[in-house]
């Protein structure tokens, strides 16, 4: 009894310390954001400013169009996620319900794609977007991310778990492919699809390298690019760290809120995506 | 329609093309075209170029800097994949029990994964700031000298490893938690009646039974590690003196800073081959030690 109790106490102490360590950069970011210039350059560091400079947030918000950047990221990510959900579902439907020549080859090609580094496609994709006149445009970002190999896998997996009886029954009731996919299978695969949508949204919102290659005008920047721009303009010279930390808070905060609201779905959904395949 | 008959070409086309068209345009075709460019000396600006055969590859393999980049890439991969897996397993073992606060801990430990690498790397660069940064304050508590971190070719890479592991460890934890829940309780019970210690249960029951998850994580984390870019660009830009330049960073620099498309795509090809080879090795190894039910 005593040993179980002490084990549990030990478990909590360990978890508390680990959680503190993991969350610490976020706390440090906020505490640094509201320091004065003198406080932030003080060594040893002060944990919390004497007088929190909350106006630093307003000043940071006004020193670059962060609202616009966040809007750009959210807007493009949402469109991309919708496209990916629709076309991954359709592809997954074809892979699980339709019989056709070359299905194995198609699935194998997608499987290989999943393993290969996306960066290896950047040069030709860049050239292609240049030819299409889509460099420095939202269309370029959206079109080049319109498909998710991960989504195809995940939704295919979900569709395979739907019982044959349900599908047969729907067919006997006269459901065509379109009805079967959107009215029966899509709702049944809902939890996987929502998980996928979350993950994909987070990845698109956080995406940096590829968008930074194709976007060049400031009003089209995503938050990641805008933040980096702000960092190298002002932060690297070591004068405006509080503002840089405030700006990082803007970039990180929406996602942390989204995550803590949807946390149960998110974590369970990721864990459930079978590892057997 | 009989069961054996194929569905009509038109039906299949309707369902596969919304994904297949972008997949072909932005995955299949670029992979092949990239391979083709790697045999040319194209500089992106000029309309013409020559086929130079294997020259780009030979140049790379004849350049000592390339081997250093390769070494950095392996350093980064090994230095992130193993700690992330071990850390993830450790977190999962601690959380593999229902108790109050379990979900809150899980959420906090996982939260870095959700945040933009660019933003958290900026925050970490402040923590690793050489004069007044928190990392050096911690060292000073133990009477250790201050480090230059991003400015030191010895410490720049460990700094990037810390940030990368910090970000990914919660992700690995989620997969291990799921795997641990699937280990049959009876196995532990019968081991306990045989008087097995906590440690020997971990080594003889848990680790073999969760090996499919370890295998899966090793492959996924490795593919991710080979493509790490954001934290490197924010923290060190591949420096100092190229000490944190990995294959992907070299690719980025040759393609989009020097517009040496031939060399860049040759690097990309090597990256693809390396990924494929490492995956293959892992699949072969997996046959020997992964325990499937």
DSSP B80-124: HHHHHHHHHHHHHHHH-S--TTHHHHHHHHHHHHHS-HHHHHHHH
What tens digit of pLDDT does each residue of A80-128 get? 999 999 999 999 999 999 999 999 999 999 988 887 888 889 999 999 9
Query: Which residues of A fall within a CB distance of 8 Å from B132?
Result: 40-43, 45
pLDDT for B279 beyond 90: no
CB contact under 8 A, A123 and B265: yes
pLDDT at B1 (0 to 100): 44
CB contact under 8 A, A28 and B127: yes
Three-class secondary structure of residue B221 per DSSP: helix
Question: Concatenated DSSP letters for A145-188?
Answer: TS--HHHHHHHHHHHHTS-HHHHHHHHHTT--HHHIIIIIIHHH
CA gap B268, B255 in Å, rounded: 10
pLDDT at A2 (0 to 100): 59
Of the residues A123, A148, A211, the best mutation for testing chain B's interface (the one with the most B CB atoms within 10 Å of its CB) is: A123
pLDDT at B62 (0 to 100): 95
Q: How many CB atoms lie within 10 A of CB B192?
A: 12
Smallest CA–CA separation between B171 and chain A, in Å? 9
Smallest CA–CA separation between B19 and chain A, in Å? 5
pLDDT at A132 (0 to 100): 94
Residue A210, token pair as written in the block:
């590829």
pLDDT at A277 (0 to 100): 31
pLDDT at B185 (0 to 100): 86
pLDDT at A275 (0 to 100): 39
CA–centroid distance for B41 within its chain: 30
Residue B158, token pair as written in the block:
């460990």
Residue A242, token pair as written in the block:
């509080």
pLDDT at B45 (0 to 100): 81
For chain B, the average pLDDT equals 91
Q: Residue A123 is nearest to which of B219, B227, B261, comparing CB atoms?
A: B261
> Given CB atoms, is A177 within the 8 Å cutoff of chain B?
yes
CA–centroid distance for A46 within its chain: 33
Give percent above pLDDT 70 in chain B: 97
pLDDT at A108 (0 to 100): 92
Q: Residue B22 is nearest to which of A101, A127, A147, comparing CB atoms?
A: A147
Residue A134, token pair as written in the block:
């889509």
pLDDT for B292 beyond 90: no
CA gap B233, A228 in Å, rounded: 10
Nearest CA-CA partner of A202 in B88, B25, B171, B175: B171
Q: What is the ipTM of this complex?
A: 0.90
What tens digit of pLDDT does each residue of B4-62 get? 567 888 999 999 999 999 999 999 999 999 999 999 999 888 888 888 889 999 999 99
Low-confidence ranges of chain A (pLDDT < 70): 1-2, 234-239, 271-277
pLDDT at B2 (0 to 100): 44
pTM beyond cutoff 0.95? no
pLDDT at A1 (0 to 100): 52
pLDDT at A234 (0 to 100): 62
Query: Which residues of A fall within a CB distance of 8 Å from B5?
Result: 99
Q: Which of residues 34-63 of A touch B (CB under 8 A)?
A: 40-45
pLDDT at A238 (0 to 100): 58
- Nearest Cα residue in chain B from A266: B107
Q: Residue A116 is nearest to which of B131, B170, B272, comparing CB atoms?
A: B272
Smallest CA–CA separation between B64 and chain A, in Å? 23
- Nearest Cα residue in chain A from B133: A45
Asked if A227 contacts A160 with a C-beta cutoff of 8 angstroms, the reply is no
* Block residue for tokens 């938050």: A223
Give percent above pLDDT 90 in chain B: 66
Q: Residue A251 is nearest to which of B116, B229, B271, comparing CB atoms?
A: B116
Measure Cα distances from A20 to B11, B109, B154, B158, B228 in Å: 54, 9, 28, 21, 26
How many residues are recorded in chain B? 293
Query: Which residues of A fall within a CB distance of 8 Å from B33?
Result: 124, 127
Peptide bond into A44 cis (omega under 30): yes
CA gap A247, A241 in Å, rounded: 10
How many residues are recorded in chain A? 277
């Amino acid at each position: 009894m005593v040993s179980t109790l002490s084990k549990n106490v030990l478990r909590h102490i360990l978890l508390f310390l680990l959680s503190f360590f993991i969350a610490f950069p976020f706390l440090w970011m906020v505490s640094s954001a509201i320091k004065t210039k003198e406080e932030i350059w003080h060594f040893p560091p002060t944990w919390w400013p004497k007088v929190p400079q909350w106006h630093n947030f307003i000043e940071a918000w006004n020193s670059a169009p962060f609202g616009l950047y966040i809007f750009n990221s959210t807007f493009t990510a949402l469109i991309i996620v919708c496209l990916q959900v629709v076309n991954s579902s359709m592809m997954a439907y074809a892979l699980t319900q339709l019989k056709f020549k070359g299905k194995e080859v198609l699935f194998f090609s997608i499987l290989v794609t999943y393993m290969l580094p996306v960066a290896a496609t950047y040069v030709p994709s860049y050239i292609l977007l240049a030819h299409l006149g889509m460099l420095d445009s939202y269309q370029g970002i959206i079109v080049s991310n319109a498909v998710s190999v991960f989504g195809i896998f995940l939704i295919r997996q979900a569709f395979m778990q739907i019982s044959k009886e349900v599908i047969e029954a729907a067919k006997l009731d006269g459901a065509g492919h379109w009805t079967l996919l959107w009215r029966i299978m899509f709702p049944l695969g809902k939890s996987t699809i929502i998980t996928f949508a979350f993950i994909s949204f987070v990845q698109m919102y956080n995406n940096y390298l590829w968008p930074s290659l194709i976007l060049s005008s400031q009003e089209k920047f995503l938050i990641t690019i805008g933040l980096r721009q702000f960092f190298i303009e002002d932060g690297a010279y070591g004068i405006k760290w509080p503002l840089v930390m405030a700006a990082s808070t803007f970039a990180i905060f929406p996602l942390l809120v989204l995550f803590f609201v949807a946390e149960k779905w998110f974590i369970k959904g990721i864990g459930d995506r079978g590892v057997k395949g | 329609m009989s069961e054996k008959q194929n569905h009509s070409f038109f039906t299949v086309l309707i369902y596969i093309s919304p994904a297949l068209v972008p997949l072909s345009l932005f995955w299949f075709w670029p992979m092949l075209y990239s391979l083709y460019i790697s045999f040319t000396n194209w500089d992106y600006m000029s309309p013409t170029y020559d086929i130079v055969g294997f020259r780009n590859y030979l140049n790379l393999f004849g350049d000592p800097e390339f081997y250093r980049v390769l070494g950095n890439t392996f350093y980064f991969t090994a230095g992130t994949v193993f700690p992330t897996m071990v850390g993830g397993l450790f977190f999962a073992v601690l959380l593999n029990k229902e108790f109050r606060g379990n979900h809150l801990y899980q959420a906090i430990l996982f939260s870095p994964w959700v945040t933009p690498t660019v933003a958290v790397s900026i925050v970490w660069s402040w923590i690793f700031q050489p004069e007044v940064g928190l990392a050096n304050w911690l060292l000073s508590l133990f009477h250790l000298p201050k480090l230059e971190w991003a400015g030191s070719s010895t410490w720049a890479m460990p700094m990037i490893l810390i940030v990368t592991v910090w970000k990914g460890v919660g992700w690995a934890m989620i997969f291990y938690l799921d795997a641990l829940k699937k280990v049959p309780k009876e196995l532990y019970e019968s081991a306990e009646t045989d008087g097995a210690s906590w440690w020997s249960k971990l080594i003889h029951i848990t680790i073999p039974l969760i090996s499919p998850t370890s295998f899966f994580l090793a492959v996924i984390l490795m593919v991710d590690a080979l493509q790490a870019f954001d934290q490197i660009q924010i923290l060190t830009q591949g420096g100092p003196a190229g000490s944190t330049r990995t294959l992907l960073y070299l690719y980025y620099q040759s393609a989009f800073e020097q517009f040496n498309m031939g060399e860049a795509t040759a690097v990309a090809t090597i990256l693809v081959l390396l990924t494929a080879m490492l995956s293959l090795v892992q699949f072969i190894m997996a046959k020997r030690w992964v325990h499937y039910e």
